[in-house]
Amino acid sequence: MVRQAPGRPAAPPPQAGGDGLMMTGGDDVKGGAPEVASTLGFPPGPAAAGGPDRNRPGSGVGHAEKGKRGRTGRGRATASPAGEPGANSPDDAGGMREGFPVGAVMVVGGGVGGIQASLELSGLGYRVYLVESSPSIGGVMDMLDKTFPTNECSMCILSPKMVEVASDLNIEVITLADVLSVEGEPGDMSVRLRLRPRYVDVGKCTGCGACSEKCPVRIPDPYNAGLSDTRCIRVPFPQAVPGAAVIEGSACRWLTKGKCGNCVKVCQADAINFQDREREEVYRVGMVIAAPGYRPFDASRKTEYGYG
Ligand code: SF4
Ligand code: SF4
């Protein structure tokens, strides 16, 4: 299945070189977002100054009609009236025209860097696919108590950004996803994703937690670095986005032995879906930003720092 962002690319093909892959440099990418726009071949238009610009990517998205302003203060593009050539023309439904860049960006990595990049891009009017390998965005920062060196509350900084992502109609959060391949060139790239099953319908789940209370299987809690236990079905953490439960398929008694089913019995929302299967999807985007974050490693390998 090929997914393509709505929008009506109208700028000339990009002239910039490079492989189309950008690395975020931390949680503040204010200087990076305009660079993305430039590389995509969309020079700042009237929308960047607060006025409508239906030629900008994302302008064909229905919710743009709300006239919502981006968090950066730059105006969100406004769709043209029905019937007027422009944002809602048949071109938009069909998507990209040959040789023109795609008005969407894929951000790979749902930590604070990827979250901030997505918000900045959305503020510029781009359609954003925020791809995360775990069941929720938030990355490592949501597991921390304090941030260094200011000793600020980590979740107090991150949680509002996560809520903003969840409510931003220009951003589509794709969890439990792995990037299999990236092909193409800046302005027209195809990204193949492997989407792993959650076994819970995100659109139905209310995050009530009733299923977790009845689940008999305990597993190490990834949110607490395995230092405590959680249930096989659980909402990853209270501020998770999406705030839906997820089932650890390899530990679930129903999925491995055909027994139990307690979660199905107690779920009032009918959200459990044991028919969920791994699948692949291809997304057409103009640019990919890699925000992979980090993992703890064995410090004894770094003897030059005095470990080991
Ligand atoms: S799966 Fe059902 S019971 Fe579990 S949190 Fe979601 S809505 Fe509640
Ligand atoms: S069916 Fe699986 S996820 Fe549901 S309660 Fe039983 S062990 Fe837990």
Whether residues 44 and 178 fall in one domain: yes
| Average pLDDT of the residues in 292-298 | 85
**Percent of the residues in the chain that have a pLDDT greater than 90, as a whole number:** 60
Whether residues 258 and 296 fall in one domain: no
- Structure confidence at residue 2 (pLDDT): 63
Q: Which atom of ligand 2 is nearest to the CA of 260?
A: 6
Instruction: Write the pLDDT tens digit of every residue in 239-251.
Output: 999 999 999 999 9
- Structure confidence at residue 65 (pLDDT): 32
Whether residues 151 and 242 fall in one domain: no
- Structure confidence at residue 306 (pLDDT): 86
Strands 127-131 and 104-108, by their bridges, are parallel
Q: Is 207 in the pocket of ligand 1 (CB under 6 A)?
A: yes
Whether residues 148 and 180 fall in one domain: yes
Whether residues 260 and 298 fall in one domain: no
| Average pLDDT of the residues in 140-164 | 93
308, part of any domain: no
Instruction: Write the pLDDT tens digit of every residue in 53-89.
Output: 333 333 333 333 333 333 333 333 333 333 232 332 3
How many domains is the chain built from?
Answer: 2
Whether residues 96 and 230 fall in one domain: no
Ligand nearest to the CA of residue 200, numbered in listed order: 1
* 233 CA → ligand 2 middle, Å: 6
221, part of any domain: yes
223, part of any domain: yes
* Residue among 235, 277, 279, 274 nearest 258 (CA): 274
Whether residues 240 and 185 fall in one domain: no
159, part of any domain: yes
202, part of any domain: no
User: Domain range for residue 40?
Assistant: 2-196+278-303
204, part of any domain: no
Whether residues 256 and 299 fall in one domain: no
Instruction: Write the pLDDT tens digit of every residue in 189-248.
Output: 999 999 999 999 999 999 999 999 999 999 999 999 899 999 999 999 999 999 999 999
What confidence tier does 47 reach under pLDDT thresholds 50, 70, 90? Answer: very low
User: Could you count the other beta carbons within 10 Å of the beta carbon of residue 290?
Assistant: 18
| Average pLDDT of the residues in 295-304 | 85
* 261 CA → ligand 1 middle, Å: 13
- C-alpha 262, offset from chain centre: 31
Closest CA to ligand 2's atom 1:
261
If one residue of 211, 215, 233, 254 were mutated to test the ligand 1 pocket, choosing by the most ligand atoms within 8 A of its CB, it would be 211
DSSP 302: -
Average pLDDT across the chain, whole number: 76
Whether residues 22 and 169 fall in one domain: yes
User: Could you count the other beta carbons within 10 Å of the beta carbon of residue 202?
Assistant: 17
What confidence tier does 4 reach under pLDDT thresholds 50, 70, 90? Answer: low
What confidence tier does 299 reach under pLDDT thresholds 50, 70, 90? Answer: confident
Instruction: Please list, in sequence order, all residues whose beta carbon lies within 8 angstroms of the beta carbon of residue 200, skipping any fewer than 6 positions away.
Output: 233, 244, 245, 246, 247, 271, 272, 273, 276
Instruction: Please list, in sequence order, all residues whose beta carbon lies within 8 angstroms of the beta carbon of residue 26, skipping any fewer than 6 positions away.
Output: 113
Lowest-confidence range among 77-81, 161-165, 221-225, 302-306? 77-81
201, part of any domain: no
The CATH number of residue 295's host domain is: 3.50.50.60
Closest CA to ligand 1's atom 7:
205
| Average pLDDT of the residues in 128-151 | 94
Whether residues 64 and 160 fall in one domain: yes
Whether residues 173 and 216 fall in one domain: no
Instruction: Please list, in sequence order, all residues whose beta carbon lies within 8 angstroms of the beta carbon of residue 95, skipping any fewer than 6 positions away.
Output: 4, 5, 6, 7, 102, 284
| Average pLDDT of the residues in 112-138 | 96
Backbone angles phi, psi at 80, to 5 degrees: -80, 160
Whether residues 260 and 147 fall in one domain: no
225, part of any domain: yes
Closest CA to ligand 1's atom 2:
267
